Amino acid sequence: MLCRLRIVRSALLALSLGAASALALPAHAEDRPVSVGPYAQVSVGGQKMVGKTKRRTNEGPKFALRVGTDLFSWFSVGGRLDIASHEVVLPRPPQGEYTQFYGGAGEARLSLSIGPVAVFAEGSLGYTMVSTNVLETVDILEPGERFTPTIGAGGGLEYQLQNRHYAFGLGGEWNNLTEFARMHTVSVSAHMRYTY
């Protein structure tokens, strides 16, 4: 558990250091036009439950697909579909039980570009569905509970390549699954963004 917390702390520290170095770039840094227009983005990372559910679930992989458009060079709107899978820690056999979380949300993103590097913050509002009833057996979910509104916030760093269509980044995100016993998740991911 300590090792997992260290990984999350290290990722957040890396994001902070990257943001600080981006802000410290000299004024004569390479000037690249900021990509503006419709975009598609794929993310791969890991997710951890926090709060009431952290002792009943292990970290798991998370994948997300985002599409949207940049209304301005500093403001984007779009949508996200994601899936995360977690092993559930049960007090008795059977072991090796898993549950998946399927989510969809609308998002808004603010960004500040300094040369080829952008620092961004984003917020989301959507819905999440849990795939199985295994969390009911450990009193995390009520019987029959499957859907919840979700509120999220996140941020990170992005680097735009010379080819203006492509950007790569790192980000972190917090989500509140409001109806699931105040369940919260924290995730860290790497992404590739393509702007048309």
Q: How many CA atoms lie within 13 A of 6 on its CB side?
A: 3
Pairing relation of β-strands 166-177 and 147-160?
antiparallel
Region 178-193 average pLDDT:
91
Nearest by Cα to 112 from 73, 77, 144: 73
What are the structural domains, with CATH classification, of the chain?
2-24+36-195 (2.40.160.20)
Q: Looking up tokens 């419709």, which residue turns up?
A: 38
Region 138-157 average pLDDT:
90
Q: Per-residue confidence at 29, pLDDT binned at 50, 70, 90?
A: very low
Nearest by Cα to 187 from 10, 46, 43: 46
Has residue 13 got a pLDDT over 60? Answer: no
| Burial status of residue 72 (CB atoms within 10 A of its CB: 0-12, 13-18, 19 or more) | exposed
pLDDT reported for residue 67? 98
Q: Output 139-142 pairs: Cβ under 8 A, ≥24 positions apart.
A: 140/52, 140/53, 140/56, 140/180, 140/181, 140/183, 141/180, 141/181
- Pick 25 or 132 by higher pLDDT: 132
The least confident of 15-24, 82-91, 115-124 is 15-24
Q: What is the pLDDT of residues 41-98, one digit of tens each?
A: 999 999 999 987 888 889 999 999 999 999 998 999 999 999 999 998 887 777 778 9
Rg (CA), the chain: 18
Q: How many CA atoms lie within 13 A of 95 on its CB side?
A: 3
DSSP secondary structure string, the chain?
A: -HHHHHHHHHHHHHHHHHHHHHHT--TTS---PPP-SEEEEEEEEEEEEEGGGTTTB--EEEEEEEEEEEEETTEEEEEEEEEEEEEE--SSSPP-EEEEEEEEEEEEEEEEEETTEEEEEEEEEEEEEES-SGGGTTTSS-TT--EEEEEEEEEEEEEE-SSTTEEEEEEEEEEEETTTTTEEEEEEEEEEEEE-
pLDDT reported for residue 22? 46
Region 34-47 average pLDDT:
93
pLDDT reported for residue 32? 60
